[in-house]
Amino acid sequence: MSDAYLNYDALKLPQHIETVLLTGAGGFVGREVTQLMLNLYPKLRIITTDIIEPPRLTDDPRLRVVKADLGDTAQIEALFEGEKVGGLIALHGIMSGGSEANFELGYAVNVDSHVSLLKAARRHSEAVLSQPMTYVFISSLAVYGGDKCKPIDRVIPADTPIIPGTSYGVEKTIIELYAYDYGRRGYLDTRSCRLPTVAIRTGAPSTAASSFISGLIREPLQGIPSVCPIAESEADPMLDNMPVYLSRAKTVFRNIVWGLCMPAENIKFGKGDRSINIPGIRVTPRQILAALKQHAGDEGVKLVEYKKDPAVIAICETWAGDYDSSAEVKQGFVVDHVESGFSAAVQDFKDELALAK
């Protein structure tokens, strides 16, 4: 399948967005979304920030790179000073495994710093913009959980309550509600984009419980051993029974930028709550191992070690394997091909490895 479905031509920024602030820019998704916006918008000013020094992806002065701890409100305020930020993508956070392991840290970053950022964005929007700032909060499908949301389930959003199964999911839900109310009151034009698992994640493994999904491909393709934490052998039925809902990384990055570009009127096609389930595809770990075999042969498959990790399984059991995303497709978000989407994600990663050599 060609990449035409990504429809980059649709990604027209609204006129009031001349500057975008992007948090979490030192992370996997932040780095790539920054690069995509640099490629798409030659005139856009981009401010990137992270608690670690974000990468300076270009010498172009329209990119301002700021190292800041967003747990400190003074450092948040300083990001807006002297700027006219029309769009914001809030990506920073502590991932699912990290938030489950450290309750205090998860709430401090995933809740408190995001509340401070929303408040600062509102103040800035009211002070310098003639219409509300477009504010994209990056959430997660981990907001879903409960009885109707197990790996075997296909979630129909209208029939599925938000009952997060992890602190991470609760934290994301809290900020979605804040963002919803800021939108309802007209303070900011908010959109909460709930990402599926992003594949293939480049760089080092993250503290996300889903990290192994990318790890089953990423490490063996580089000749490095990888652990499959949800099965005890290749014959384990868990490999078929624990499907994951994921999206090709390229598709997620495109959809996040669409979250910023999407006309406010498209929100009406959604669930009425300003929250958007970014579309993905259902893939089983067995299909992932088959893709590994296709791309890396038996040698690659031999690098997978089966070692069950109850903590990872407990988190994965709270995630549905599939979601109905027809409303989001109407809103203009795009979805991978169900048959070839994962293989395309693996090919993207192989291409990146080849380029890095």
Q: State the residues that interact with ligand NAD by CB under 6 A.
A: 24, 26-30, 50-52, 69-71, 91-93, 95, 109, 113, 138, 140, 195, 197-198, 201, 206, 208, 210
Nearer to ligand NAD, 72 or 299 (CB): 72
Nearest approach in angstroms of CB 71 to ligand NAD is 5
Tokens of 252: 């997620």
Nearer to ligand NAD, 200 or 221 (CB): 200
DSSP string, 49-100: EESS------S-TTEEEEE--TTSHHHHHHHHTT----EEEE-----HHHHH
* Three-class SS state of 47: strand
Nearest approach in angstroms of CB 293 to ligand NAD is 23
Nearest approach in angstroms of CB 201 to ligand NAD is 6
Nearest approach in angstroms of CB 204 to ligand NAD is 9
Q: What Cα–Cα distance (Å) separates residue 355 from each residue in 113, 114, 241, 294, 352?
A: 37, 36, 36, 20, 5
The one-character DSSP state at 165 is S
Residue 172: alpha-carbon gap to chain centroid? 12
Nearer to ligand NAD, 68 or 128 (CB): 68
Nearer to ligand NAD, 92 or 124 (CB): 92
C-beta separation of 300 from 339 below 8 A:
no
Helices and strands (H, E) in the chain, number of each type: 13, 14
Nearer to ligand NAD, 183 or 215 (CB): 215
Nearest approach in angstroms of CB 182 to ligand NAD is 18
Nearer to ligand NAD, 92 or 286 (CB): 92
Nearest approach in angstroms of CB 9 to ligand NAD is 25
The one-character DSSP state at 14 is P
Q: What Cα–Cα distance (Å) separates residue 26 from each residue in 51, 92, 116, 334?
A: 8, 9, 20, 25
Nearest approach in angstroms of CB 164 to ligand NAD is 13
Residue 328: alpha-carbon gap to chain centroid? 15
Nearer to ligand NAD, 6 or 208 (CB): 208
Q: How far is 137 from 190, CA to CA, in rounded Å?
A: 7
Nearest approach in angstroms of CB 98 to ligand NAD is 8
Which residue's Cβ has the minimum distance to ligand NAD? 27
Nearer to ligand NAD, 113 or 134 (CB): 113
Q: In b/e form, how buried is each residue of 20-41, taking b as 16+ CB within 10 angstroms?
A: bbbbbbbbbbbbbbbebbbeeb
